Amino acid sequence: MRKLFTILAISLIAFTVVAENKGKVEIPLRFDRYYTYEEVVEALKLLNTSYPQLTKLDLVGKSEEGREIYALTINNPKTGEALSKPGVYVDGNIHGNEIQAGEVCLYFANMLLTKYGENDKITKVVDKNVYYIIPVVNVDGRAHFFLDAQTSSSDRSFRVPRDDDRDGLVDEDGPDDLDGDGNICMMRIKDPLGDYKTDPEDDRLMIPVKPGEKGEWTILGQEGIDNDKDGKLNEDGEGYFDANRNWGSDWQPAYVQNGAGNFPLSGFGVKAIATYIHQRPNIIVNFAFHNSGGMWLRAPSHKDDKVDTRDVAVYDLIGKNALKITPGYVYQPSYDLYDTFGDTDSHMFNLEGSYTFVGELFMRSQETYRENVSKPLPPAAETESSSARRGGNPDETRELVKFNDYLGLNELYKSWKSYKHPTYGEIEIGGWMKMSSRLPHPFMLPELVHRNAMVVLYAAEQTPEISLEIFEVKEIGKNLHQVRVRLKNEKGLPSMSYKAISSKLYTQDILKISGAKVIASGKITDLRNNKISYQEHKPEVIYTAVPSFGYAEYQFLVEGKGEIAVNYSSRKAGSLTKTFKF
């Protein structure tokens, strides 16, 4: 009996501890649940105060509703100032409902800091680079996604009011949580002329009727009432302003690109973050994490834009490796999905000279409930293409509901319940809930954030590592010396993109000699046959770029004696100086 009481007491203490820690933000961060906007801010502040030697927390700006947008910088000042190193930029949650994107960013920051000094790989990349991390771009959207009733796809927009139905009012008729369960589900009504009937294999689901069959249900759309009394439901919800269509590169007005806003960078958060990025010109690779699909997308984002084949090779190095880290994902140009204008990836690649990747995170195909997951489900018949809100294949939808039943704790799908609607009378409300469809269940979150963070880590390992070697100093005449210099890059990212070079986006890397007069200089095109391509002007300065896994060699003809300095400086690959004496 005493042993039983001891077990009960221990269990009670354990339950109390769990209850008290639920929702509490602690270091190290945990990733078996989602953080609210307020908790993300608290987590960033805790990381900053817990690792003050390695971090800096910046208030980037404020949103339309006054919420704060924070960026965490991770840098070891003992290995150099932040701007003197290659920069790795990571952000997420530019769409309010894409909350797992913010978790990837938090996980990456947490991993770098908690494992620094303990893990050699982490320690090396932290010492090598600087990291700029903004977990939540759309702070208003994330806040409202947790606070308000939503679908899995709603509150994507920046909170910029818009008159969708052109009635002189803004955002006055969005969906309504009629049954007060915190979700915006679907409404259906019994109708013998309807397009759907109850699925005979699962009475919670519907399938389309075939020609000649009697209908049973008509889908009325999302939960809601006619708030503005214009005879239409849910036609003017929040927004729509898509922050990922409001950036500076290839921006197009709304009649070309829906959600673009009135002009580039008109969104408070977009402008603030674009300014923050521009003030950090050392950013050489960046990741923007999004919601679902299992994809790695690279520039260009529309078919009319082109990417140099040498830049494609750099993208491929990271993208093809990413496929091995995140099995099941695809890697492709962004326009292969669909054309977009004014997006983050184009802005970063075309205007900031950064190799940019979009990570579309969750794969719905992972929500399985069958013995052989390698065997695909049978394809849907053509008449069944719109049979369910989650996928057109009834077998897939049935499996997803079983996933809800047996793995999702019934937290993903709401069984249909009767409701008396003020316009339609007796209806039913049910279907997929807010935390479903585009979001992994929390038990699936740890693997997702880790795998995607490891892709960022791989890219961080590939930032340029430039060495400067004076491999020959030779007297060729009275007071005249031939100096040969080699710049070598051990890693996969070049010192600057070929896009940046061809568009003259910014000044190229500079190689120069000081301490003596430079008579002539040029690139060595054939070392063994002593062939030099001499430049016509300013021989003391050579503009260059160092390719990935490659090198570049140069020759200077120098007049004078004493201590000579050879200096290499790069916006994105750091700087080096070596000295010697004649």
pLDDT tens-digit profile of 518-528? 999 999 999 99
499 falls in which pLDDT band (50, 70, 90)?
very high
Average pLDDT (242-268) is 95
pLDDT of residue 14 exceeding 60: no
pLDDT of residue 462 exceeding 80: yes
Average pLDDT (434-459) is 96
d(CA 65, CA 45): 21
pLDDT of residue 383 exceeding 90: no
pLDDT of residue 384 exceeding 70: no
Q: Which amino acid is at 210?
A: K
pLDDT of residue 379: 62
Spelled out in words, what is the top-level CATH class assigned to the domain 466-581? Answer: mainly beta
392 falls in which pLDDT band (50, 70, 90)?
low
Q: Which helix (H) or strand (E) holds 109?
A: helix 99-115
Domain boundaries, the chain: 2-145+241-362+442-461, 466-581
378 falls in which pLDDT band (50, 70, 90)?
low
pLDDT of residue 171: 83
pLDDT of residue 20 exceeding 60: no
Integer distance in angstroms from the first to the last C-alpha of the chain? 91
d(CA 161, CA 469): 58
pLDDT of residue 162 exceeding 90: no
The answer to whether the CB of 92 falls within 8 A of the CB of 105 is: yes
Q: Provide the percentage of residues in the chain whose pLDDT is more than 90.
A: 84
What mean pLDDT value characterizes the chain?
A: 92
d(CA 520, CA 536): 8
Left if phi > 0, otherwise alpha if psi is -120 to 50, otherwise beta: which for 294?
A: left
pLDDT of residue 87: 98
Q: Which amino acid is at 399?
A: E
pLDDT of residue 22: 56
- Which pairs from 400-406 meet CB under 8 Å and 24+ separation? 400/364, 400/367, 401/202, 401/204, 401/205, 402/369, 403/367, 403/368, 403/369, 404/436, 405/369, 406/369
**315: three-class secondary structure by DSSP:** helix
Q: Which two tokens stand for residue 434?
A: 């807010």
Let me know how long the chain is.
582
Which of 118-132, 149-163, 365-379, 476-490 is least confident? 365-379
pLDDT of residue 388: 38
pLDDT of residue 164: 84
pLDDT of residue 169: 86
| Residue the block writes with tokens 């829906």 | 258
pLDDT of residue 12: 43
- Apex CA 112: angle with CA 111 and CA 116, to 5°? 110
How does strand 283-289 pair with strand 87-92?
Answer: parallel
Spelled out in words, what is the top-level CATH class assigned to the domain 2-145+241-362+442-461? Answer: alpha beta
pLDDT of residue 408: 95
pLDDT of residue 483: 96
Express each pLDDT in 311-346 by its tens digit: 999 999 999 999 999 999 999 999 999 999 999 999
pLDDT of residue 4: 41
* Alpha-carbon distances, residue 467 vs 80, 471, 483, 489 (angstroms): 16, 12, 16, 7
pLDDT of residue 43: 98
**Considering only CA atoms, which of 562, 474, 558, 490 is closest in space to residue 520?**
558
Express each pLDDT in 168-223 by its tens digit: 888 888 999 999 999 999 999 999 999 999 999 999 999 999 999 999 999 999 99
Which of 23-27, 240-244, 255-259, 267-271 is least confident? 23-27
pLDDT of residue 385 exceeding 70: no
Q: Which helix (H) or strand (E) holds 72?
A: strand 68-74
**314: three-class secondary structure by DSSP:** helix
pLDDT of residue 240: 87
pLDDT of residue 393: 80
pLDDT of residue 560: 86
d(CA 506, CA 558): 28
H helices of 279-308, in order, are none
Query: What's the predicted TM-score (pTM) here?
Result: 0.92
d(CA 328, CA 368): 14
Which of 178-182, 233-237, 418-422 is least confident? 233-237
DSSP string across 524-578: EEETTTTEEEE-SS-TTEEEE---TT-EEEEEEEEE--SEEEEEEEETTTEEEEE
pLDDT of residue 539 exceeding 60: yes
Average pLDDT (13-40) is 75
pLDDT of residue 3: 44
pLDDT of residue 450 exceeding 70: yes
21 falls in which pLDDT band (50, 70, 90)?
very low
DSSP 282: T
DSSP string across 386-449: TS-SS-S-HHHHHHHHHHHHHTSTT-SEEEEEEEEETTTEEEEEEEE-TTSSSS--GGGHHHHH
d(CA 381, CA 211): 14
pLDDT of residue 6: 44
**Considering only CA atoms, which of 254, 274, 6, 39 is closest in space to residue 146?**
39
pLDDT of residue 79 exceeding 80: yes
10 falls in which pLDDT band (50, 70, 90)?
very low
